[in-house]
């Protein structure tokens, strides 16, 4: 599902030209995939640590309301006060240098969550989406309703970066992350608005193309297995990769979780990075936080977190 130059191995960082190649791919596509970002030992330690937290605090891991399928998760800082299992991914050397090169010095860790998508036995709709016979749902979105405040401060037009670590092997028979490749230059040229409807800050700048972007001209709408009807978007890449891979993308790019009929769980750690300014924009923050400073002040004080 990848063109040859989108996926990299963590060992690529040993090559002098690797960083430039990754940056070029990020600028052209809005994402890169780093295989082997986490070692098998690191993956096992994270999963074991989360399992221990689930056993110790089961009420914190009760499924939230989702139509038709089950997913459970927890957010920082509460999760990080209960376990150190995810400390090592906050500034992991497999991705931290690339995050700094894209967003610039002064970038800060601003959000973390752990998600487990459960087994799902629902039947796919008769109207198959994009040739994927097991797909049950895709809820496409630009993160934070398309906010791009601060994106013009870097050449990649990225207001923030999200990194998703795969903690299970992911393929066409499991849930996965899907993205629509989109260049920095395309994002610069897209229509913008400050209509105040983002929900993540007053009158923040955001991309306004939700009804038209990448919509299939022949079959513009799709109803998923759970009765939700949304624009059918085309041009996607399904990120199938082994456990330990890191999917790094511009949060202003269209992405979604592809939910499939499957007997396998998929565990992921989701982290976001942004600059503290502009303070009035709450992108790349959890729903309880008004600023990067407030989020970071609530984190436990451990050296690995910073």
Q: What is the CATH number of the domain that holds 59?
A: 2.60.120.620
Question: Taking the complete model, does pTM exceed 0.85, yes or no?
Answer: yes
Please tell me the total count of domains within the chain. 1
Rounded Cα distance, 81 and 91, in Å: 17
pLDDT digits (tens, 9 = 90+) for 203-252: 999 999 999 999 999 999 999 999 999 999 999 999 999 999 999 999 99
User: pLDDT band for position 43 (50/70/90)?
Assistant: very high
User: pLDDT band for position 198 (50/70/90)?
Assistant: low
- Which of the pair, 4 or 90, is modelled with greater confidence? 90
Please report whether residue 252 resides in a domain: yes
Measured CA to CA in angstroms, residue 277 lies from 51, 139, 175, 212 at distances of: 36, 29, 34, 30
Please report whether residue 306 resides in a domain: no
What percent of the chain stands above pLDDT 70?
Answer: 96
Res 197: pLDDT: 63
* Cβ atoms within 10 Å of 87's Cβ, excluding its own: 18
Distance of CA 75 to the CA centre of its chain: 14
Please report whether residue 157 resides in a domain: yes
Is residue 149 pLDDT above 90, yes or no? yes
Domain that holds residue 145: 7-297
Q: Are 127 and 232 in contact (CB under 8 A)?
A: no
Number of residues that this document lists for the chain: 306
- Beta strand 176-179 pairing with 192-193: unpaired
Please report whether residue 41 resides in a domain: yes
Res 10: pLDDT: 82
Compute the CA torsion angle 243, 249, 251, 255 (nearest 10 deg): -60
Please report whether residue 267 resides in a domain: yes
Is residue 57 pLDDT above 80, yes or no? yes
**Close Cβ partners of 230 (under 8 Å, ≥ 6 residues apart):** 139, 140, 221, 222, 224
Res 121: pLDDT: 94
Is residue 272 pLDDT above 90, yes or no? yes
Please report whether residue 273 resides in a domain: yes
The whole-number average pLDDT for the span 72-96 is 97
Please report whether residue 130 resides in a domain: yes
Res 195: pLDDT: 79
Res 4: pLDDT: 41
Please report whether residue 43 resides in a domain: yes
* Cβ atoms within 10 Å of 68's Cβ, excluding its own: 14
User: pLDDT band for position 7 (50/70/90)?
Assistant: confident
Res 21: pLDDT: 93
Res 160: pLDDT: 99
Rounded Cα distance, 306 and 296, in Å: 9
pLDDT digits (tens, 9 = 90+) for 117-127: 999 999 999 99
């Amino acid at each position: 599902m990848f063109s040859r130059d989108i996926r990299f191995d963590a060992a690529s960082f040993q090559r002098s030209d690797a960083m430039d190649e990754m940056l070029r791919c990020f600028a052209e596509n809005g994402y890169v995939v780093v295989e082997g970002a986490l070692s098998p030992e690191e993956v096992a330690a994270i999963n074991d640590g989360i399992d221990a937290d689930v056993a110790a605090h089961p009420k914190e891991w009760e499924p939230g309301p989702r139509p038709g399928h089950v997913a459970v998760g927890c957010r920082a800082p509460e999760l990080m006060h209960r376990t150190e299992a995810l400390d090592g991914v906050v500034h992991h050397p497999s991705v931290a240098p690339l995050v700094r090169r894209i967003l610039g010095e002064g970038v800060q860790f601003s959000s973390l969550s752990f998600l487990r998508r459960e087994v799902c036995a629902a039947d796919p709709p008769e109207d198959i989406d994009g040739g994927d016979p097991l797909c049950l749902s895709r809820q496409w979105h630009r993160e934070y309703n398309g906010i791009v405040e601060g994106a013009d401060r870097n050449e990649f037009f990225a207001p923030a970066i999200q990194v998703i670590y795969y903690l299970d092997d992911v393929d066409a028979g499991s849930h996965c992350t899907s993205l629509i490749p989109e260049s920095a230059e395309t994002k610069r040229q897209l229509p913008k608005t400050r209509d105040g409807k983002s929900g993540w800050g007053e009158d923040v700048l955001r991309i306004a193309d939700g009804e038209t972007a990448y919509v299939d001209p022949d079959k513009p709408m799709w109803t998923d297995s759970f009765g939700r009807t949304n624009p059918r978007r085309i041009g996607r890449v399904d990120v199938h990769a082994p456990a330990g891979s890191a999917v790094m993308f511009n949060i202003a790019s269209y992405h979604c979780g592809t939910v499939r009929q499957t007997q396998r769980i998929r565990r992921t750690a989701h982290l976001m990075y942004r600059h503290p300014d502009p303070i009035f924009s709450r992108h790349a923050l959890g729903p309880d936080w008004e600023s990067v400073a407030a989020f970071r002040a609530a984190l436990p004080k451990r050296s690995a977190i910073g």
